[in-house]
Amino acid sequence: MSDALLTVAPQRWALLAYARLRSLWQRWFLWLLLAVLVSVLLVTVVWLAGRHEVEQVQAALDRDTADAVADLRSGFQRNAQSLRATQAPGADPARWPEVAAALLREHREWLRLEWRDSALRPLQAVNTPYRMRVLDEDTRGPDQSDVSLACAAARKLGASAYSPSHYVPIAGGGGIEVMELCVPIDAGGYLVASYSLRDALIELVGPTLTRGQEVAFTEADGTRLVALGSSRRTGTRVFTSQQLIDLPGTSLMLRVDGWRAAPDLFPNMLTALVTAISIALVSVLVLLARDTRRRLRAERDLADALAFRKAMEDSVITGLRARDLRGRITYVNPAFCEMVGFSPEELMADNAEAPEAPYWPTELAHEYQQRQARRLAGGMPPREGFESVFMRKDGTRFPVLIFEAPLINAHKVQTGWMSAFIDVSEQRRIEELSRASQERLQASARLATVGEMASLLSHELTQPLAAIASYASGSLNLLGPDARGDQAEVAMAVKRIAEQADRAGQVIRSVHDFVRRRDRTREAVAPQALIDAVLPLVRLQARKLGVIIEVVLEDRLPAVMCDRTLVEQVLLNLARNAMQAMDGPDNVGSRVLRLRVARAVAMGAAGQEDGRRWIEFSVADLGSGISEEVAERLFTPFFTTRADGMGLGLSLCRTVVEQHGGALVFEPNKPRGTVFRFTLPST
């Protein structure tokens, strides 16, 4: 046992330690989770602010690029219209070089203007005055592929067309990217303008676009053709935007690379404000964590105090109940719940329609309501307490001793009443047992007196009975064996007197032996003989009460081992009690006494069949039966339901039967009445 306790104790402490550690971990986990969420919020806000700024820069760059593309398209379109205007109807072909030179002075993006016939042979040509001659006259023939492509596209579209850009080397190293514009003439032939892509960027794109960023023409696959603008600075971030310039006959990609410094940690006032609030929140969290530690210590102390108080309340056998000033129950301890049989939920249910408590007896509810009203009005209960009666859930009543006191809170204000209840039913039971013990002692004293009287009577009655027997024997001798007529009847009567006197002597001797607890002799007696011995006396009382006697004996019954005289007295006493039970106005015409003897099988203490053989005697009547209250005390000495009875008959009968090893029981008879049965061992 001790080893088991030593094994269980460490496990219990380990479980308690684990539960406390788990509770502490859960508390700190919530704080840690809150700190992580605040940190994530701060980082997310800063990141979203930076991302917003990046998106704004990118959006501005996309807008600038779109505006530049629109400027380029409109510039290319205006240039094509200006070039076509040189061949307006009525214009002098001889003055075309002069007009073309004027256009070249206005459009620095053009390197050369040419007038070609339908076979693409140059008729007239003018070069830009702002640059050294880049295009060689020898290479500007009708077989020039770029011009051929542009003019073929123009002829097909019936409008201006452009050739893909091509690289033109410059003497001394280097070169430029050139794009050809071919405009068809209504009179036949073509006007060809050679664009310098670099100069096109300079002239057709606003100068603000190239400040702080790089603007370039690229092919569709990303190959850079020309670029303008500032170079990338260290510590900057690249923002790129590119859009397609779809020209008739070719396509160009305008790419703008912006050099922007990396966004600040706090790019705007909102982000700085949110960051400051987050830092303040983290500081508050730290202060709250310190306060939580103090509160945890206070909670642990309070939990220990509450656990101690709860253990005390659960361990006491005194019922505790708290009520508010309206009379509603606010607290009950387990002892009180066990006392009345109701759960705490049932007792503390707020039911305004039923002001009485569920444990109040129905017949006393009005009185208890008045007492509760006086208590709620301010009436002080007695300090020594008072007794009352409560009702359990199953309806049983039990006495209680009640102590009540005002319930005062921490502000010295009464908030209700606290009551303590002591179940005094056990005390009352002990008092009842003590009283019953006193009665049994008195009954034992009376039994002792009865025993002494029985011994005295048996001693005093022996000589008169012996004298009666002697006188009867003498009378029989005087009458002689040959008596006739009236003398024979007298002889029979005297003989019966002698037999009853001898029987009375045997009864007295048996009672004397029973009282003095001496060993009695038992003999084998036929059940028929026992019945025949009591039938004459039973029939005398049966004729007086109008009772019909029925005797039923099973065939071939074995003899029983018994004290014949005592068993006859048991049969006689049971038969008389049965006839007296039918002596009433309700039993007129149905007074039948049934004596039955049969074999029986007795069961041992372990529920197994007893190997011995038994004979069962039963005495049945058709009386009013035995009530439950009488049945509980039927075999109690000196308990009787008759005014002239002593209450010893059935008690002595059961004692005699049990001394023979049998058992005396009773049960209701059908359709009415009672059956008494007792068993005796057979030979």
Q: If you write DSSP's letter for every residue of 271-302 in order, what string do you get? A: HHHHHHHHHHHHHHHHHHHHHHHHHHHHHHHH
The residue count for the chain: 683
User: Is the per-residue pLDDT at 605 higher than 80?
Assistant: no
What pLDDT is stored for residue 9 in this prediction? 40
What pLDDT is stored for residue 444 in this prediction? 63
What pLDDT is stored for residue 616 in this prediction? 94
User: Is the per-residue pLDDT at 463 higher than 60?
Assistant: yes
Distance CA 567, CA 594 (A): 17
* Stretch 573-594: mean pLDDT: 82
Distance CA 105, CA 126 (A): 11
Domain membership of residue 662 (yes or no) is yes
Residue whose tokens read 């006491």: 316
Worst-scoring range by mean pLDDT, 136-145, 227-236, 351-360, 474-483? 351-360
* Stretch 273-293: mean pLDDT: 78
pLDDT for 57-83, tens place per residue?
A: 888 888 888 988 888 889 989 988 888
Worst-scoring range by mean pLDDT, 194-203, 226-235, 389-398, 450-459? 450-459
CB-based contacts of 125: which residues, under 8 Å, 6+ apart? 112, 113, 114, 115, 137, 140
Residue where one domain finishes, among candidates 359, 390, 423: 423
Q: How confident is the model at residue 675 (pLDDT cuts 50, 70, 90)?
A: very high
Domain membership of residue 360 (yes or no) is yes
204, 81: one domain: yes
Domain membership of residue 502 (yes or no) is yes
* Stretch 510-528: mean pLDDT: 70
CB-based contacts of 75: which residues, under 8 Å, 6+ apart? 200, 203, 204
403, 350: one domain: yes
What pLDDT is stored for residue 361 in this prediction? 83
CATH code of the domain covering residue 328:
3.30.450.20
Count of alpha carbons within 13 angstroms of residue 233, beta-carbon side: 12
600, 629: one domain: yes
Distance CA 151, CA 119 (A): 10
User: Is the per-residue pLDDT at 182 higher than 90?
Assistant: yes
Asked if 392 contacts 359 with a C-beta cutoff of 8 angstroms, the reply is yes
343, 358: one domain: yes
Distance CA 198, CA 100 (A): 21
Worst-scoring range by mean pLDDT, 242-251, 334-343, 467-476, 617-626? 467-476
Distance CA 112, CA 415 (A): 108
pLDDT for 439-461, tens place per residue?
A: 766 666 666 666 667 666 666 67
What pLDDT is stored for residue 666 in this prediction? 92
Domain membership of residue 27 (yes or no) is no
Distance CA 135, CA 395 (A): 124
CA distances for 444 relative to 94, 441, 667, angstroms: 168, 5, 29
386, 467: one domain: no
What pLDDT is stored for residue 617 in this prediction? 95
Could you tell me which residue, 326 or 119, shows the higher pLDDT?
Answer: 119
Q: How confident is the model at residue 3 (pLDDT cuts 50, 70, 90)?
A: very low
Q: How confident is the model at residue 21 (pLDDT cuts 50, 70, 90)?
A: low
What pLDDT is stored for residue 263 in this prediction? 53
* Stretch 512-538: mean pLDDT: 77
- Burial level of 89, CB count in 10 A (0-12/13-18/19+)? exposed
CATH code of the domain covering residue 465:
1.10.287.130
pLDDT for 362-372, tens place per residue?
A: 777 777 777 77
CB-based contacts of 222: which residues, under 8 Å, 6+ apart? 253
472, 546: one domain: no
What pLDDT is stored for residue 664 in this prediction? 92
Percentage of the residues of the chain whose pLDDT score is greater than 70:
80
User: Is the per-residue pLDDT at 314 higher than 60?
Assistant: yes
Tell me if the bond preceding 671 is cis, omega within 30° of 0: yes
User: Is the per-residue pLDDT at 161 higher than 90?
Assistant: yes
Q: In terms of Cα–Cα distance, which of 202, 244, 194 is closest to 220? A: 244
416, 464: one domain: no
Domain membership of residue 223 (yes or no) is yes
Distance CA 437, CA 431 (A): 10
By residue range, what is the domain housing residue 149? 71-261
What pLDDT is stored for residue 229 in this prediction? 79
Worst-scoring range by mean pLDDT, 6-10, 82-86, 142-146, 229-233? 6-10
Could you tell me which residue, 651 or 10, shows the higher pLDDT?
Answer: 651
Q: State the virtual CA torsion across 300, 303, 304, 307 in degrees, nearest 10.
A: -160
Query: What is the overall mean pLDDT for the chain?
Result: 79
Q: How confident is the model at residue 162 (pLDDT cuts 50, 70, 90)?
A: very high
| Highest mean pLDDT, choosing among 52-56, 516-520, 563-567 | 563-567
Residue 115, strand partner residues: 124, 191
Q: How confident is the model at residue 526 (pLDDT cuts 50, 70, 90)?
A: very high
Domain membership of residue 434 (yes or no) is yes
474, 526: one domain: no
Distance CA 497, CA 490 (A): 10
467, 500: one domain: yes
CATH code of the domain covering residue 625:
3.30.565.10
* Stretch 317-338: mean pLDDT: 84
Q: How confident is the model at residue 181 (pLDDT cuts 50, 70, 90)?
A: very high
User: Is the per-residue pLDDT at 386 higher than 70?
Assistant: yes
Q: Is the four-CA dihedral 625, 628, 629, 632 of positive or negative sign?
A: positive
Quote the number of domains for the chain.
4
What pLDDT is stored for residue 571 in this prediction? 92
Q: How many CB atoms lie within 10 A of CB 303?
A: 12
Give the tokens for residue 618: 């039963």
Worst-scoring range by mean pLDDT, 88-92, 192-196, 478-482? 88-92
CB-based contacts of 439: which residues, under 8 Å, 6+ apart? none
Domain membership of residue 281 (yes or no) is no
Asked if 623 contacts 587 with a C-beta cutoff of 8 angstroms, the reply is yes
* Stretch 181-202: mean pLDDT: 88
Could you tell me which residue, 578 or 603, shows the higher pLDDT?
Answer: 578
246, 135: one domain: yes
Domain membership of residue 296 (yes or no) is no
What pLDDT is stored for residue 527 in this prediction? 92
Distance CA 418, CA 420 (A): 7
Residue where one domain finishes, among candidates 477, 500, 519: 519
Q: How many CB atoms lie within 10 A of CB 30?
A: 11
243, 356: one domain: no
437, 401: one domain: no
Residue where one domain finishes, among candidates 519, 552, 585: 519
- Strands, E, within 482-533: which ranges? 523-525
